[in-house]
A and B are shown apart, each in its own frame.
Chain A
Amino acid sequence: MMDGIKFFLKCVECFFVIYLIGYSSFLFLSVCVGSSSLYNAKRKEKMKNVLLHDYYVPVTIVVPAYNEEITVVDTVKSLLCLEYKLFEIIVVDDGSKDHTSDEMIKAFDMHLIKRPIHKSVDCQPEEFVYETTLQKVPLTLIRKKNGGKADALNMGINAARYPYFICMDADSVLQYDSLEKIVRPVLEDDTVVAVGGAVRPSNNVELAYGRVRKYNLPKNIIACMQVLEYDRSFLASRILFDKFNGTLIISGAFGLFKKETVIAAGGYDHGTMGEDMELVVKLHQFCRSNAIPYSIRYATDAICWTQAPEKLGDLMKQRKRWHLGLFQTLWKHKTLMTDPKYGVVGFVSYVYFLVYELLSPFIEVFGVLTMILAFFVDLINIPFMLLFFGIYAVFGAVLSITAFLARIHTIDLKVSFKDTMKALSLCLFEISVLRFILAFVRLTAFIGYRKKKLNWGRIERKKINWN
């Protein structure tokens, strides 16, 4: 019996050594690549190795909204401040129970119009359409039967007049130059079918007409830790995936897509909670299956400011939803891993998301259970275990702070000494406490998952301070 346990623990030890070497090497590599890319991009920008062109590709901004009466008008007002020449805004009210549509109609003096919509991708029928040309750019409001976020986005795609569309959240603010920046990759390479933007928490950031007036870390600790988490994720790992066209996620808060390719691939999937990730994975699969040359890029300097949840309950709800979306997407596109034609997307990106994102909470809990077993059979070296955890936490924290500092150094933001100290002290807490709480949340995400099929994943909304 004891020999069996010893053998089992030896196997577990080997597994965890490989697992952690893989994870930490990935983190290390991604932070190094991400930081060096940012420093290089800053140098290029300084030396005018950028496009100095004021006429860009026409873009449709699709704003899906559900019960957004508090934020929708300010979101649209902030979009009207964007410094870009050719775009239109389409707000899709997904059968809200509040006054989302009324607020829009009143604020922008919109007119009811019988507009036929070409249904290239599936979506629920429209109830009414309002338009106005009184604003800087054409503004359209479509009220449709409730069908979920993916369905609302599909309606937006159907109504879009321009060849590229941007999806965003109704509670987010795009930085004044974000359209210009997100469109650049399209001008650089005609095979680009999607571009992801950088999403940053806007809590406690003073914005005026899409410009940062004053940058502060959030006062709320939960939001503050998300800043570090976002930095690590957006500035590090996404840049690394971008290097080999392996990006699997473009945040629903800000992404640009080529309409024609998205329509050919079937648009957003109504049946998943992670419609943003599902679309990107689907684009990979569609283009590779049909031998279409393509690339999916990430624009680090195209910035969208979003409200990060400040309550632990809201954060848990959000992460539960993300984890279920991840599961649904990976399950739906499982052939990506088994079919060699999907190449590096399958055996690097997919495997990373499967092992280190989807299965990680299970693996971590398995590790804890094994430790308990080892403790009971007296086969655990407690000082060594503590040292191991300590090193692991410090390693993660150091990488988080490196990503944070890389962003601060390369983007013209000034951070106070107090905020730097705050980031330094919270990065350890984030990696050793918040991460485990969220691992537990992800582990229990599957409880009651079917009931949430068309859920919009509500978090508490605050009025956007856009000016």
Chain B
Amino acid sequence: MNVEVLIYSYMAICASMIVFNCVCVFVFKRREKKLDHRNSALAIQMQKEVEEIHSGRSVSEKHRRYLQKKLRYTGNLLTFDETIGVLQTEYPEETEQYLLQNRSVFIYLTLEFEGKSRMKEAYLAYLLEKYKLSANMPIDMISNAMLSLLKEKSLYCRENALHVLYSTGNAENVVKAIKVLDRNGEFHHGKLLCDGLLTFTGDHGQLIGMIWSQMEEFSKDMKATLLNYIRFKSGGYETEMMSLMKDEKQDDEVRFACIRYFGKYHYPPALPFLLKFCGMEDENRWEYAAIAVETLYLYPGDETTEMLKKSLYSSNWYVRYNAAQSLVRMGFTYSDLADIFTGNDRYASEILEYMLEHKDIYEEERKKESDAI
């Protein structure tokens, strides 16, 4: 190849990059101005309508048509969101009315955006949730659009759609959504789902009841997530948890979630099983022991103390750590545990000494804090 050709190509690339940078600077400056202009046009119209509501009138059909036309564009959607924020501080009640009276615009937009721009769909879902626009709307229309968003690859689409469904307060739709997510196969972090379910605005009892009745239809990961949600929300499901915990065919993570449940809610019939798990220390099942030992502080008694002391001598670090923590949480003192300190196991006495010291320091620091107050 002729080297000159190469040189000229690089010169051309340099020139095009310089042009690109100049265009970018220009476009960004212009877009800012343009957005301001659009802001003012749309914002003025919106403010006018809110003022109309303030003086006792309703949103006009013309304004609805105007919004339908304008809000199809990203920039205007952003403007709408910003303007509502401003109006909410000036006219809170009127703005709420304005949003209520314009819900039909959002139904139109939901259908308009479906399958076209995922980013816009996700943003619309965000707006629906933020301004509670989906409340009292024809559930099928919104929920169908949101359920279809749940099949998307984009996590943000799915999350925003889920939040709309949580905010509708309809348990049936939420269970449907969980099933769609579960079958979809896209990874959706259990923490996001669990925390999201906790924000559900409807009847949690009804939702949990529906989840229990269909529990076996969910995958093992989903089951564990749902059990964690139930643990955070309610203490009335001991029998169901117990039967899952005992079922050896269940996945380890599912059984771990059940064991943790009994570490939050005291249920004496679970104790024999928890003690049995504490004894499971083989290399592949040490997590059973580590988690069960952590729950035992809720079940004081000789048998528990004996098991916790025994667990202090475990070869597994986490079992020892959790056993020491449980003993200290149960209120045992240095003198109560003298046999451990005078024993031959350095690891057992070290971890126990640390937990006791940590507790003393913690209490001392809290005292210092309250004295300072």
Contacts and interface: CB of A to CB of B under 8 A. Distances in A.
Given A49-B157, A51-B156, A132-B365, A28 B7 contact: no
Interface string B104-139: 000000000000000110110010000000000000
B6 interface: yes
A191 to B, nearest CB: 8
Interface in A1-50: 13, 17, 21, 24, 28, 31, 43-44, 46-50
A115 B191 contact: no
A51 B11 CA distance: 43
Cβ-closest 4 pairs across A and B = A49-B156, A47-B123, A48-B126, A116-B350
Contacts of A186: 189
A43 B365 contact: no
Interface stretch (A318-326, A364-372, A388-396): A388-396
Contacts of A399: 17
SS class of chain B's interface: helix, strand, loop or mixed? helix
A188 interface: yes
A113 interface: yes
B354 interface: yes
A208 B108 CA distance: 45
A48 B195 contact: no
Contact of A398 (B17, B25, B154): B17
Interface string B60-95: 000000000000001001100000000000000000
Contacts of B361: 111, 113, 131-133
Interface in A289-306: none
A49 B354 contact: no
B25 to A, nearest CB: 7
Nearest to A119: B317
Contact of A49 (B28, B78, B119, B365): B119
Interface string B149-165: 00000111101100100
Contact of B195 (A50, A53, A394, A406): A53
B159 A134 contact: no
Nearest to B127: A48
A49 B154 contact: yes
Interface string B317-341: 1000100000000000000000000
Interface string A186-218: 111110000000000000000000000000000
A114 interface: yes
B354 A134 contact: no
A374 interface: no
Contacts of B122: 47-49
A247 interface: no
Given A17-B1, A398-B18, 8 more contacts: A48-B160, A51-B155, A52-B159, A52-B163, A115-B358, A118-B317, A133-B365, A401-B21
B354 A113 contact: yes
Given A48-B126, A111-B361, A116 B14 contact: no
A387 B14 CA distance: 14
Contact of A116 (B1, B7, B354): B354
B191 to A, nearest CB: 7
Interface residues of B, number: 50
A119 to B, nearest CB: 9
A17 B156 contact: no
A57 B189 CA distance: 11
Interface residues of A, number: 48
A287 interface: no
Contacts of B369: 134
B373 interface: no
Contacts of A187: 155, 189, 191-192
B347 interface: yes
Given A134-B365, A409-B28, A49 B191 contact: no
A44 B7 CA distance: 38
B350 A114 contact: yes
A154 interface: no
Contacts of B273: none
A226 interface: no
A399 B7 CA distance: 16
Given A114-B353, A395-B14, A405-B21, A190 B187 contact: yes
B221 to A, nearest CB: 9
B78 A51 contact: no
Contacts of B368: 134
Interface string B337-356: 00000000001001101100
A114 B357 contact: yes
A154 to B, nearest CB: 16
B237 interface: no
Contact of A394 (B14, B21, B25): B14
29 contacts: A28-B13, A44-B119, A46-B78, A47-B126, A48-B156, A48-B160, A51-B155, A51-B159, A52-B159, A53-B159, A53-B195, A55-B191, A114-B350, A114-B354, A116-B347, A116-B354, A131-B361, A187-B189, A190-B187, A388-B7, A394-B14, A395-B10, A395-B13, A395-B14, A398-B18, A402-B17, A402-B21, A405-B24, A409-B24
